[in-house]
Every structure is written in C-alpha cells, then in structure tokens.
Structure 1
C-alpha cells in the first residue's frame, strides 16, 4: 500500500525520489498488529491486568478450600455454598467483561455515550470527542484492493477457512473458523472540521501514534470450493506471495476512511501556538468495562 502520488510531478532524480519515499513511509502508522483475530472487528483489549485476575483466582481458590475444610470438620456447608456462589458470580463478571472487551461493545458504548465537544469551547489538554468531515493531510493513502484514493485510514484483511478436518458447504456460515492470514492496516495524519464550531484540527494518527480504529471492514470477496478466482483477486494475492489455489475458502474484507467522510475522533486537545491538534491520550482511559491504551 502506497500513498497517492501527485499528478504532473516532475522527475527529480533517483536520490530525491528515494529520500521522499523514505520520509513518506516514516509518516505512516502501521496498524497491522491491531487487526485482531478472525472474530474481532476491533482490536481486543485486556479488561483487567493479568496480575489482578490471578490474585482474584487465588482468593477464590482459598475461599473454596476453606469452605471444603469447614464442611469436612464441622459438617456445615454454608461457607462452601457461599464460596461457590461468590466464585460463580466473580467468574461470570470476568467472562462478561472479557467478551465485551474482545468484541468491542464496551469501547463502542463508551464512544457513543461520550458527548460531542466543540473545538471553540474545549480547553487545552481536555479529552474531546470531535465529529466532523475528514480531509487529507500531507500524506494520503490508497486502499489496497479497491484502490480508493485520498484515504486517511485503510484496512484490508484476508481470512482463510481454518476449520480442520471438515469441509464447509456454506462459506458464509458463522460457525466456520475464519483464520486471519494477512492484514494491511495503515493510518496517516489528517484534518477534521468540527461540525459544531467549524474550526479545523490536525489529528495525529500517523507515525508512532497509538490509534484504536473502530472502522469495520466490508466483505468484498467470499469464495467456495471450486470457485474460479477473478483476475483482480489473483493479481492481489500474487503481489503478496499468497497462494491462489482455487480450492481454498477465503474471505477478503476492506475498510477505509476517505476524504469527505464524517468521522468521530476522540483524543486530547492541544491549543499550543494557536494550532489545534488532537493527540492520542498519554495515559490509559477506562471505559467502565475495559481499559484503552
């Protein structure tokens, strides 16, 4: 995936082109690690620190052991019953939080419930949610498969059927295991025009920015056994050295944010030197169910 070029650009020599390509690549934010597993439309977030989970598990185990000891010595099961019920409640709570964090429900509820801010009224250093129209910055992107230009965020994901030992008659069956085999996800700095105040702010989503995208990919291609792959898909696979065997069950999904689209952005507002910028939060933010870092 490459940033778009400028029409009518003059040739300035190999050295200048190489320097510009290096600078452009350094400005992009490679988010491939946030592609998640085959069932997660957004990156999975850890709802609790691992140390806290192990500490709670140790306390529950101690309570169950004490209840069993009391039952064996004095033949009273009240403490054991209370320990079992308490353990079941805590485990259910942990599982519910883990499921909500992995599916992105908690994060989406947090974003939807946060009131929209105004760039005019918000203070410097305040956590803001800005809704407005997106425009490209110095670098823009082209989506990998559909070749949509003037994008500030692109995500292309390839999945293969990973259900071992059986064939899937319907490739759209949700019970099938779709394994993530290839991901291309990039972001670049862009501008957003606040719908409330009309002011424009630079969103630093580029290189070394911690970005959590909540953009779902659209399903573009689904193949079944014996399906003949299109020339476009074959070319896309060959460019990435991915096997294009027609017997494989694959799904290709792509999402993007292009210039002119409406977007919600959450970050820390900076008003230094008269320039409006939205920066990634320096510390983790609790959504009430999980922690966003």
Structure 2
C-alpha cells in the first residue's frame, strides 16, 4: 500500500495509483515489444529470400536450352558420321555449367556465399568513414535500452537470439533412425529476435548504435548450437517438456527432433555491415535503403548475390560447440 492515506479516500487513492501503475507497466511492455525485431521469416535461410537472384531464372533456362541443343546436335553428328567428339564436349560443358549453377544456388541458400564476402571485406573505421557510406565495423557488442534472453538456455544480456526446432522426416514420412544421413530435418518452429545494440569499433575505439530492432531488416549469419537430439527411446528432460508445453507442442510429436540455439551476447566480437549515419556527433548503422550486390568470390567460384538489411557476422565463436546436443 502507498503511504499517505487511510479509509475510503486512501483506498480510492490506492486503486487509482494501482491503475496508473498498471498503465505504466503496460506502456513499458508495449515499448519493449515494439523494440524487438521478429526475424522468424529469416530462419529458413540467410534472410535474402525477397531479394532478386544474381542469376535470373530466364537466363538459366536459356543456358539450359542452348546446352540441350548442343547435346542434340552432338547426337546427330554421332549418328551421321560416327564421331562422338562433339557429343562428349557438349556433355562435359553441360555437366560443368550445371555443377556451377547448383554450387552457387546451394551457397546462396545456405548463406555461404555471403559469409565468404563478409569475411573478405576489409573492416572500416568509424573515425574516417563518411556519412551514408556502406561500412563493415568489427568490434565488441554492448546492449542498448533492452536486452534479450535466449529461449531455451536462458542466456541473458543478448542482442540477438535464435532457437530452431526441427523434426526428422524423409520424403514427408517419419523415419526411425534420426542419425540416418538420408533423413531430412525439417524446420517446424523458429524463434529469432534482434534488438538495437551498440558496437565499439576495434579500429577507432568509437561506439555506434546498430539499429537492428524496430522492424529493421537484418541478415543474421549466426551458427546455432545443437542442444538436443532425440530418438524414439529418448526420455525427454523436464526442461524440454516445459519448453514444448509453453509453445503448445505435444511431447509425443517430439520423439524425433533437433533443438538448435544461437545468440549474440554482450561482450562478444561481431562484424556489422550497414549504412553509416552521422548526425549531431552520434554514429548509427542503419539497414541499406535497397538490396545491395556483394562481390564475386573467384577462388570459390561464387557469383555475386544480393543482401537486404544489416548483416551480422559473429567473429567470436567461443560459445559454438559443433556436434553437440546428444540427448
């Protein structure tokens, strides 16, 4: 009870103060919710699904048609003059082009092409970079007005969290062995969130606000740890059961699952690519106004690809434990 009142007047004042407190709490909760950036749509890839592809589909079909014509002509020459040279050349060329396109399609879908581009890009300095320039800033992360807590491990003071739930399936049907290499882990539930945070430039020592919250476009290149892998003989832990119940997922549906989680915690080292804004002496890194094209990675035979938003590339991988999560 608040001081300064008794009887009915005091009770009315208490009720009024409680109502005001509830309104303030609701406003604070709404502000915090508005500060979060729901990135669940980027869970299936590198977050560039809406960007145009570097190799247009019409051009791919055109190349396929030309290769088909070459194979047909080679087959005719083989039948007419019994010389397989042209057919062999056409087959080898078709195989090389198909392998090149498949390699680039896989690299774009997995984010490998963008990772190679980001890793090869030289770091910028907040001291010399100009307003409106596309920059890559590498440094240590600190939380902004709000911080996040990871969904499963409950890691605090995060600026980005990612929790993915996958089910084991093969051609749409459940399989008995989750360790079978032919089994496919299908994403069935995703939780990805980001918030505004600060990054301290390792080159200049200056600090910039990264606008990753408030519905900004963000491309997270963050690896998730494998926390849990279950089989039909696995007894689910109480923590996992509670996590599933909170999301209305039946424990019976969780007999063949993988749970993965990643995060960016305060104090980690991160590379950020975005548009630099300098106003009133304050530096901010904003999403680019339109999708941008990365450069070619010739040594890896990778075509340029588009990225749309602030790119987050984790440099500090001390939390990442590969091949973990056997439960």
TM-score, structure 2 normalization? 0.76
Root-mean-square deviation over aligned CA pairs:
2.6
The 1:27/1:89 distance shift into structure 2, 3 A limit, reads same
Partner SS state of residue 269, structure 1: strand
Match of 1:25 in 2: 33
Q: Is the 8 A contact 2:34 2:214 kept in 1?
A: yes
Q: 253, 268, 271: which is aligned to 1:261?
A: 268
Match of 2:306 in 1: 292
Match of 2:243 in 1: 236
Higher mean C-alpha displacement, 209-218 vs 11-20: 11-20
Q: Is the 8 A contact 1:158 1:180 kept in 2?
A: yes
- The alignment covers a number of residue pairs equal to 278
Q: 62, 74, 77: which is aligned to 1:55?
A: 62
Match of 1:7 in 2: none
Distance 2:118 2:279 in 1: 26
Q: 212, 216, 238: which is aligned to 1:209?
A: 216
Structure 1: gaps of 5 or more residues: 1-9
Higher mean C-alpha displacement, 193-202 vs 105-114: 105-114
Distance 2:116 2:231 in 1: 36
Using the TM superposition, give the Cα deviation of residue 202 of structure 1 relative to its aligned residue in structure 2, in angstroms: 0.8
Q: Is the 8 A contact 2:113 2:305 kept in 1?
A: no
Higher mean C-alpha displacement, 14-23 vs 27-36: 14-23
Residue by residue over 1:240-290, the C-alpha shift from the partner in whole angstroms, topping out at 9 and shown as x without a partner, is: 000112871221111111111111111122223322111223332224234
Distance 2:149 2:175 in 1: 38
Q: Is the 8 A contact 1:225 1:246 kept in 2?
A: no
Q: Is the 8 A contact 1:227 1:247 kept in 2?
A: no
Using the TM superposition, give the Cα deviation of residue 208 of structure 1 relative to its aligned residue in structure 2, in angstroms: 2.8
Structure 2: gaps of 5 or more residues: 1-17, 297-301, 308-327
Alignment of 1:38-117 (within 5 A): 42=46, 48-68=55-75, 79-117=86-124
Q: Is the 8 A contact 1:44 1:103 kept in 2?
A: no
Q: Is the 8 A contact 1:227 1:246 kept in 2?
A: no
Partner SS state of residue 228, structure 1: coil
Distance 1:247 1:208 in 2: 32
2:280 is equivalent to residue 273 of structure 1: yes
Residue by residue over 1:218-248, the C-alpha shift from the partner in whole angstroms, topping out at 9 and shown as x without a partner, is: 1112222222211111111001000112871
Partner SS state of residue 120, structure 1: coil
Q: Is the 8 A contact 1:152 1:190 kept in 2?
A: yes
Q: 143, 159, 170: which is aligned to 2:166?
A: 159
2:43 is equivalent to residue 35 of structure 1: yes
Larger Rg: 2
Q: Which has the higher contact order (CA 8 A, sep 6+)?
A: 1
